[in-house]
Amino acid sequence: MPGTPRGAHRHTRRLLDLVNQQALKLDKVDTLILDEFDRMLDMGFVHDVRRIVALVGTREQTVLFSATMDDSQRKIISSLMQEPVEIRIHHSGAANEQVDQETIQLKEGEDKFLALQQLLGRPDMEKVILFTETKRLADRLTKKLTREGITAGQIHGDKSQNFRNNVLQKFKNGGIRVLVATDVAARGIDVQDVSHVINYQLPLTMDAYIHRVGRTGRAGKTGKAITFLDPKG
């Protein structure tokens, strides 16, 4: 069950629907793979996952992938796996060392969008992912950037999968320079050569921050992450 957590949720529900319709049998399946399992277990999908696990036949292999793991999830993991082998590429509690991180402290009353606009005017801002916490702000920023002549597109949970795929393809091909996104884009998206990640709004958790800044500085290349610190939050 790959992809973003919401996508994985749709896949699990679809699998269960097919099983209920007797159009699919899982008892012959011998390999179970869960991608982004930490969010799947945290976002209320664990009951669907347990149902699918119960329907799967005797497993020869179970594989869980995630960029982070909370100690509270180990009990659930132990119910899915026996004596698992844990492989870590790097410590999950810190951002990629290939990413240069900096903050911009805004002053009281300072125009945040103007500061963003000036930042995006730098020549090194070649391919940028701009993160917000809300879908409404993502839409609003995309419109304002476009009006200012900055090519931008947005992806978030209210957009269809086809819409998000089209915007993402334009971003990959250089058709748009700024991808405005909520945390739905922080996982499961592989775009090469993202020069900058900008946190227009602070993420709610450290894990979310790590996933956001992990969109740059990939495949051994360096990247930059910039976070706005706004007195208003």
Mean pLDDT value across residues 193-203: 93
- Of all residues in the chain, the percent with pLDDT exceeding 70 is 82
Residue 64's pLDDT is what? 84
pLDDT band at 12 (very low <50, low <70, confident <90, very high): confident
**Domains (range + CATH), the chain:** 5-80 (3.40.50.300), 99-229 (3.40.50.300)
On whether the pTM is more than 0.75, the answer is no
**69 contacts: CB under 8 Å, gap ≥ 6:** 38, 92
- Check whether 43 has a pLDDT greater than 80: no
pLDDT digits (tens, 9 = 90+) for 113-140: 999 999 999 999 999 999 999 999 999 9
pLDDT at 141 over 80: yes
**H or E stretch covering 120:** helix 112-120
Q: What six digits make up the tokens of 208?
A: 């979310």
Instruction: Using pLDDT thresholds of 50, 70 and 90, give the confidence band for residue 5.
Output: very low
Give Cβ neighbours of residue 201 (< 8 Å, ≥ 6 apart).
131, 132, 133, 134, 137, 228, 230
Overall average pLDDT of the 34-39 stretch: 73
CA distances from 210 to 19, 71, 106, 171, 218 (A): 37, 17, 22, 21, 13
Mean pLDDT of the chain: 83
**What integer pLDDT is reported at residue 90 of this predicted model?**
57
CA dihedral 181, 2, 88, 29 (to 10 degrees): 170
